[in-house]
C-alpha cells in the first residue's frame, strides 16, 4: 500500500518521534511505500488567510467559501497545499500521528486540515437532492482510502474510560475520526492510543504499534453510519426514529455496532 503519515510533534527525539520511526520502519519492512509530512520540520503554515488564495482580490473581504472554491477549481492554490492534496490522492492509507494536547490535535495539524481540505476537495463535493446531500460522511474525494490515528497522551486508560474523568477516548477522538477522516470519505480504522506514556515501557508501546501497523489492510474500520444510506432524514440530516435502538443521543448513535468485540472503538494492542 501507499501510506502517507502526517506527523505533528515539534521534537524529533520525543517519544512520539521514536514511535513515528517505529511505524515507518514497520510499514516499510512489510513492503509498503511510505511518505511523511513532518509538519514542524516543514514549518507548515497553519493559519488560513488571504495569502492562501493568490488570485483572490486582496482589496475584497475574504470569503473563505468562495475563495477556496474558486482557487481549487482554477488550480491557483498555493504550492504547499497542492502538494499535500496530491499526497492524499496518491495514498491508499493515511495516518495522523500526534500527541493529544488539550483534548485535540496540535494546532499545526488542525491548520493542515484547515488549509488542505479546500472546497471541492475536503468538502463541497456532490449534488444535494431529495435523497442525497452531497458526498460526505462515507463519500467524497477520499472514499476508498483508509485512515487512522496514532495518539499519545499522559493520562491513564482509566481516565479515558466510559466513566473516567476525561470522558471516553472514543468521544474525545470522535470529532477527528468522524468529522475529519470519515467526512471526506475515509474508511476509519480504530485508533492506536498509547496511554500514560511517561510511565509505560517504550518497548511495550513499540511492540503494540508494530502489531497495529502489520494489520492496516485487515483491521475492520469503525462502522460509522453513511449519511446517504437511508438511515438519516435528508431534509434535516437527523437519524430516523427507528435507528439507534435504545440509545437516544450522543456520538455512539452514529456508529452501527461494536468494533473488534470491545466496548469502545479504540485498540491499544
Over residues 18-39, the pLDDT tens digits come to 999 999 999 999 999 999 999 9
Task: Report the alpha-carbon distance of residue 124 to residue 139 in Å, rounded.
Answer: 12
> DSSP letters along 77-111, please?
S-HHHHHHHHHHHH-SEEEEEEE-BTTB--HHHHH
Structural domain boundaries of the chain?
2-254
Contacts of 217 (CB under 8 A, 6+ apart): 1
pLDDT, mean of residues 161-185: 96
List CB contacts of 172: < 8 A, sequence separation 6 or more.
100, 103, 160, 166
Q: How far apart are CA 181 and CA 146, in angstroms?
A: 9
d(CA 105, CA 92): 22
- Cα 36–chain centre separation: 15
Q: Does the pLDDT of residue 12 top 60, yes or no?
A: yes
Which CATH architecture is the domain 2-254 placed in? 3-Layer(aba) Sandwich (3.40)
Distance separating alpha carbons of residues 155 and 197, to the nearest angstrom: 8
For residue 203, report the phi and psi dihedrals to the nearest 5 degrees. Answer: -60, -40
Q: Is the pLDDT of residue 264 over 80?
A: no
Give pLDDT, residue 258. 52
Return the pLDDT at 259: 44
Q: What is the mean pLDDT of residues 202-227?
A: 95
Share of the chain above pLDDT 70, in %: 96
Residue 101 CA to residue 43 CA, distance in Å, equals: 19
* Band (261; pLDDT cuts 50, 70, 90): very low
* Secondary structure letter of residue 12 according to DSSP: T
Amino acid at each position: 500500500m501507499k501510506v502517507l503519515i502526517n506527523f505533528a510533534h515539534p521534537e524529533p527525539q520525543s517519544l512520539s518521534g521514536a514511535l513515528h520511526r517505529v511505524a515507518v520502519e514497520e510499514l516499510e519492512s512489510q513492503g509498503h511505500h511510505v511518505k511523511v509530512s513532518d509538519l514542524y520540520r516543514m514549518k507548515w503554515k497553519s493559519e488560513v488567510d488571504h495569502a492562501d488564495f493568490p488570485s483572490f482580490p486582496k482589496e475584497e473581504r475574504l470569503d473563505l467559501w468562495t475563495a477556496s472554491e474558486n482557487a481549487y477549481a482554477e488550480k491557483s492554490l498555493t504550492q504547499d497545499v497542492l502538494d499535500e492534496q496530491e499526497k492524499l490522492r496518491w495514498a491508499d492509507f493515511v495516518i495522523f500521528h500526534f500527541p493529544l494536547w488539550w483534548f485535540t490535535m496540535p494546532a499545526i495539524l488542525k491548520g493542515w486540515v484547515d488549509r488542505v481540505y479546500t472546497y471541492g476537495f475536503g468538502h463541497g463535493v456532490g449534488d444535494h437532492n431529495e435523497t442525497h446531500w452531497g458526498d460526505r460522511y462515507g463519500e467524497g474525494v477520499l472514499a476508498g482510502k483508509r485512515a487512522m490515528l496514532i495518539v499519545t497522551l499522559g493520562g491513564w486508560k482509566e481516565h479515558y474510560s466510559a466513566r473516567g474523568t476525561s470522558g471516553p477516548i472514543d468521544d474525545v477522538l470522535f470529532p477527528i475520526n468522524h468529522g475529519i477522516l470519515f467526512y471526506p470519505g475515509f474508511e476509519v480504522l480504530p485508533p492506536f492510543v498509547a496511554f500514560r506514556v511517561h510511565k509505560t515501557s517504550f518497548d511495550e508501546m513499540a511492540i503494540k504499534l508494530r502489531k497495529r501497523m502489520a494489520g492496516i489492510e485487515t483491521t475492520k474500520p469503525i462502522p460509522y453510519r453513511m449519511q446517504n444510506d437511508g438511515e438519516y432524514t435528508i431534509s434535516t440530516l437527523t437519524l430516523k426514529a427507528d435507528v439507534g435502538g435504545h440509545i437516544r443521543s450522543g456520538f455512539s448513535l452514529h456508529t452501527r455496532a461494536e468494533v473488534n468485540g470491545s466496548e469502545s472503538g479504540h485498540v491499544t494492542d
